[in-house]
Structure 1
Amino acid sequence: MPDPITGDLHYREGFSDPAPYPALQVQGKNPYYARLLMEDYAGPSGEMTAANQYIYHHIMTDSAPEAADALEKISIVEMMHMEKLAKTIRLLGVDPHVKGGPEAAAWTSGSIQYGLTLAQRLHLDLASEYEAIYNYEKHIRMIDDPYIKALLRRIVLDEHLHVKHFKQLICRFDQES
């Protein structure tokens, strides 16, 4: 049975699509699919980078509480994506560590884009969401497992919602910072 999204610890109303997530399962162990998901999990434009970038931007956004709140909530949703991807990577037979090795390169904070102003940060965050969507859609085409495809498609719903939020924030705060 699909996970009810509203019961998830990381759910943030208005910042995560209300559609349920599919049950986390895979057709079988597959290191190749796990490597692809490691890119989404801890790659340069993956969920680990997004969660850390957005929480940093949240911390640095003292002058705009509305933007700070949105950044925090979006960061928490990205953490939910991280958890679901990590569990799926494990189901595929691979340890979802981020230290690198034969399955994936090491995650590095060097992928985080900091920006100097709120406007710069929001533009960086919007670009990060577009890159994540591009990578998820590429992996959906490359993976031939309906369970994984369903998970990635569901994550993409949240990413599109984040694009909408970042565009609204940019319209509001682009001239103020």
Structure 2
Amino acid sequence: MLNNENNISYHVDLPYPEIKVEKENSRYANILLHNYSGIVSEFTAIDQYVYHKFKLFKDCPAVSQAIGEIAMVEMHHLEMLGELILLLGEDPRYWIKKKDKRYYWNGKFVDYGNTLKEYLDYDIQAEVVAIRDYNKALNEISDPNIVKIIERIILDEELHLKIFKELYAKYVKTPE
């Protein structure tokens, strides 16, 4: 997943662990459903980043391309989480479960924004919260296979945060 134009990598240059679990575990699956399709999740990030990519396509193509590349990495994360959720014995629909109720993903979860500054502010915040939520999941899951996968995803999210901050510094004009 390299940007051929300027050879920037949008994922950490380390292999992803094998997708496997010790055994089915509904509790772990429900934890991962939040990272998969909760308010701040891989599914929300993909939709938000693709929207921002489209909105910036004409006026700021370099940022548009970078956001699109990051969205592709998030799609890979979504795929890995979906496979884990299945292996853990649950349905990887775009929902979360709370107290025997299901709440489906909603387009209102996306922070749309109207300006380059807002897009990047929202994308930076999404990465900060994603990292926090993945670390929370690490504290609740003891399956070493899942832990390795989450730790690897966090490395990508930290890189995305760094890239978004660099894009902000380069392209957002601040008052002097």
TM-score computed with the length of structure 2 as normaliser: 0.90
Say what the alpha-carbon RMSD is for the aligned residues. 1.5
Letter in 1 for 2:106: T
Deviations 1:54-89 (A, max 9, x none): 000000002111100001000111000000000000
SS at match of 1:59: helix
2:77 corresponds to which of 56, 74, 81: 81
Tell whether the 8 Å contact from 2:85 to 2:91 is kept in structure 1 after alignment: yes
The Cα of 1:24 is off from its aligned counterpart by 0.5
Corresponding residue for 1:30? 25
The Cα of 1:105 is off from its aligned counterpart by 2.2
Tell whether the 8 Å contact from 1:35 to 1:103 is kept in structure 2 after alignment: no
Corresponding residue for 2:12? 17
Letter in 2 for 1:161: L
* Percent of pairs with identical residues: 36
The Cα of 1:99 is off from its aligned counterpart by 4.8
> Is the alpha carbon distance of 1:100 and 1:117 closer, same or farther for their aligned partners in structure 2, counting shifts above 3 Å?
same
The Cα of 1:100 is off from its aligned counterpart by 5.4
Rounded to whole Å, the distance in 1 between the matches of 2:96 and 2:116 is 32
More strand by share: 2
> Is the alpha carbon distance of 1:103 and 1:19 closer, same or farther for their aligned partners in structure 2, counting shifts above 3 Å?
farther
The Cα of 1:173 is off from its aligned counterpart by 1.5
1:174 corresponds to which of 161, 172, 175: 172
Deviation beyond 4 Å, 4+ runs, structure 1: 99-104
Tell whether the 8 Å contact from 1:35 to 1:104 is kept in structure 2 after alignment: no
Flag structure 2 segments of 5+ consecutive residues without an equivalent. Answer: 3-7
Corresponding residue for 2:43? 48
